[in-house]
Amino acid sequence: MSLAKLKELIKKHNIRIVDFRFTDLPGLWQHFSVTTDEITPNLYSEGIGFDGSSIRGFKEIQESDMILLPDADSAFVDPFLEIPTLSVTADVLEPGLMPYPRSPRQIARNAETYLKSTGIADTAYFGPELEFFVFDDVRFGQDSSCGYYFIDSVEAIWNSGREEYPNLGYKPRHKEGYFPVPPHDTLQDIRSEMVLNLVDAGIQIEVHHHEVATAGQGEIDMRYAPLLRMADNVMVYKYMLKNTARKHGKVVTFMPKPIFADNASGMHVHQSLAKGGKNLFFSKTGYALTSKTCMWYIGGLLKHAPALMAFAAPTTNSYKRLVPGFEAPVNLAYSQRNRSAACRIPVYNENPKAKRVEFRPPDPSCNPYLAFSAMLMAGLDGIENRIDPGEPIDRNLYDLPESIAKKIKTVPGSLDESINALEKDHEFLLKGNVFTEDVIATWIKYKRTNEIDVMRQRPHPWEFHLYFDV
């Protein structure tokens, strides 16, 4: 979108404020706003300055000056703000408009550039399935004398006996939220409103539905898109869902495992490569109609999966979901149709354009720019080195004899293990300067210092149950 087109959009919708948005290193949207008078040719030739030392994972105070350069093609009218406001995603740059290597969006752009430079493909398509919870109340805290959290939902099974004047009873039982119609599903209209807000922002939506867990778990699936654009879409998706829920006095969380004893929220990621409009993952004669290129890509995902989890399942809470022995995608194997394998090859139809691999261990707490880029780089490493993924396992991996199960590798059991794996295995991410050693080191330090270590220092409520009487 040209500057002239942006001005036209401002005029058409009587826009008074333009809001620039960008993503910090952990993956949270940040923003600041200007009046429409500031939308001039100088803005696009010079950018607009901000303090990078106040952004997580960016700059030290002695090097804080940074630049935002808006990407006009990302513009949409914000449906939640009282003052007419245009939202525009921006690139983070160094002074002099130099690319900033720690900018998540720049890393995604680097990944797309590297893909084209290999000659293997010209487009990487990504289709994530983000799951989430819609709660009615959440409270949490911890200090020297207490540690607690409380969550609630009007449709949670634990409220089946609550006095609600009247309690109407229809509350999905644990693991039975997939797919009963209203009145069990109390969130149909809210999810539909979320969908329409996303559509108005230019994002194609395929389907929405209630998910397996009680207490308001849901899923809205976006139509696949190229890597960078899809990462942008994920950020818009989270914004739209959180603010639509807030409008109705509810709250959305993408925390992977907020509820004990019920399903967690994952983000299965569908991936494929194309060149000249042709899907490179399709073959009429291959296993599940996949090509050797697809097999090698899967080989790369499986080989580098422990390191990938540092970006794709990047929170300590992620590993409350990725627990062996439950129906979690922990098994590093591939199979057609099989949701118990880390890499699933969907076979809904034989359309060559639809052939893809679904990588199931990621969750929606990730920074999509980093996670998608890391997955692409792992897959490309598999193609470049012709990594054989082995034989498929077309059986329920959750119900294997112990003699077979113990031979199948699994994803790491904690964020600490994943970060250690990334520290040992990240050469594949450095190709084409997609990631840099500085980015990897910064990510590792941030996760260890701000998440792993601080969790280690705090007593867990269940430890009192286990150990108070020792």
User: Strands 123-135 and 225-226, how do they pair?
Assistant: antiparallel
Which one from 78, 136, 193, 219 is the annotated catalytic residue?
219
Please tell me the predicted confidence (pLDDT) of residue 350.
83
Based on the residue annotation, tell me whether 339 is a catalytic residue of this protein: yes
Q: Is residue 182 part of a domain?
A: no
Is residue 266 located within the same domain as residue 383? yes
pLDDT of res. 362: 98
CB count in 10 Å sphere of residue 35: 10
For 14: left if phi > 0, alpha if psi spans -120 to 50, otherwise beta; the answer is left
Residue 129 a catalytic site member: yes
* Token reading at 96: 């002099």
The predicted model gives 209-238 an average pLDDT of 97
Q: Is 358 a catalytic residue?
A: yes
Query: What per-residue confidence (pLDDT) applies to 231?
Result: 98
Do both 31 and 127 map to the same domain? no
Q: Is the pLDDT of residue 6 over 90?
A: no
Return the half-sphere exposure (C-beta side, CA atoms, 13 A cut-off) of residue 417: 11
pLDDT at 288: 94
pLDDT at site 326 = 66
Q: Give the CATH number of the domain where residue 93 resides.
A: 3.10.20.70
| Residue with the larger pLDDT of the pair 2 and 274 | 274
Cβ contact 173:215 at 8 Å: no
- Least confident residue range of 71-75, 235-239, 282-286, 381-385: 71-75
Instruction: Identify the active-site residue in 21, 270, 321, 360.
Output: 360
359 within 8 A of 271, measured Cβ to Cβ: yes
Mean pLDDT confidence for 199-209: 97
φ and ψ of 151, to 5 deg: -125, 155
Q: What is the pLDDT of residue 448?
A: 98
Find the DSSP H helices in 103-178. 104-118
| Residue 325 domain flag | yes
pLDDT at 405: 79
Which pLDDT value is given to residue 308?
98
User: According to the model, what pLDDT value does residue 344 have?
Assistant: 95
Is 289 domain-assigned?
yes
Residues 337 and 415 in one domain: yes
**Rounded Cα–Cα distance for residues 365 and 252 (Å):** 12
Are the C-beta atoms of 230 and 127 separated by less than 8 Å? yes
List Cβ neighbours of 135 (8 Å cut-off, separation of 6 or more).
151, 152, 153, 215, 216, 250, 251, 252, 253, 258
Q: Is there a domain that residue 156 lies in?
A: no
Least trusted range by pLDDT, from 338-352, 407-421, 451-465: 338-352
pLDDT bucket at 340, cuts 50 / 70 / 90: confident
Asked if the model's pLDDT at residue 156 lies above 60, the reply is yes
Catalytic residue among 209, 339, 395, 448: 339
19, 91, 112, 129: which is the annotated catalytic residue? 129
Q: Is 211 a catalytic residue?
A: yes
Q: Which of 51, 164, 453, 463 is catalytic?
A: 51
- Do 127 and 65 lie in one domain? The reply is no
| CATH number, domain containing residue 229 | 3.30.590.10
Residues forming a β-bridge with 347: none
Q: Is the pTM of the predicted complex or chain greater than 0.75?
A: yes
In a domain, 255, yes or no: yes
Peptide bond into 179 cis (omega under 30): yes
Are residues 70 and 198 both part of a single domain?
no
Could you give the percent of the chain with pLDDT greater than 70? 99
User: Under a CB-based contact definition with an 8 Å cutoff, are residues 125 and 223 in contact?
Assistant: no
User: Is 70 exceeded by the pLDDT of residue 325?
Assistant: no
Active site residue 208: no
| pLDDT at res. 361 | 97
Annotated active-site residue in 78, 185, 358, 451:
358
Report if residue 154 sits inside a domain. no
Local structure of 315: helix, strand or coil: coil
Residue 413: partners with Cβ closer than 8 Å, 6 or more residues away: 319, 322, 323, 324
Residue type, 466: L
Any domain includes 176: no
Q: Are residues 84 and 200 in the same domain?
A: no
Please list, in sequence order, all residues whose beta carbon lies within 8 angstroms of the beta carbon of residue 166, skipping any fewer than 6 positions away.
none
Q: What is the pLDDT of residues 23-59, one digit of tens each?
A: 999 999 999 999 999 998 888 788 899 999 999 999 8
Catalytic residue among 268, 304, 344, 356: 268
C-alpha closest to that of 271 among 115, 74, 446: 115
Per the prediction, the chain carries an average pLDDT of: 95
What DSSP string runs through 320-362? HHS-TTSSSS-B--EEES-TTSSEEE--S---GGG--EEE-S-
Pairing of strands 334-336, 343-345: parallel
Looking at the structure, tell me whether residues 282 and 328 fall in a common domain: yes
**Cross-strand bridge partners of residue 142:** 147
Asked if residue 36 is part of any domain, the answer here is: yes
The verdict on 406 and 367 lying in the same domain is yes
Angle between helix 368-384 and helix 292-312 axes, rounded to 10 deg: 140
pLDDT, residue 1, reads 47
Distance CA 359, CA 270 (A): 6
Residue-wise pLDDT tens digits, 300-313: 999 999 999 999 99
Host domain of residue 88 = 3-100
The 8-class DSSP code of residue 277 comes to T
Distance of alpha carbon 200 from its chain centroid, rounded? 21
Which residue out of 131, 193, 221, 451 is catalytically annotated?
Answer: 131
Express each pLDDT in 374-426 by its tens digit. Answer: 999 999 999 999 999 999 988 887 777 888 878 899 999 999 999 999 999 99
**Better-scored residue on pLDDT, 389 or 96:** 389
Residue 268: its pLDDT value, please?
Answer: 97
Task: Tell me: do 42 and 127 sit in the same domain.
Answer: no
What band does 87 get if pLDDT is binned at 50, 70 and 90?
Answer: very high
Q: Which of 24, 211, 363, 416 is catalytic?
A: 211
Statement to judge: residues 37 and 127 lie in one domain: no
What total number of domains does the chain contain?
2
Across 320-342, average pLDDT: 86
Q: What is the pLDDT of residue 52?
A: 92
Same-domain pairing of 310 and 395: yes
Question: What angle, rounded to 10 degrees, do the helices at 368-384 and 227-247 form?
Answer: 150
Cβ(341)–Cβ(393) below 8 Å: yes
- Phi, psi dihedral angles at 194 (to 5 degrees): -60, -45
Query: Looking at the structure, do residues 80 and 199 belong to the same domain, yes or no?
Result: no
- Tens of pLDDT, residues 432-441: 999 999 999 9
Cα separation, 48 vs 110, whole angstroms: 22
Specify the higher pLDDT residue, 282 or 42.
Answer: 282
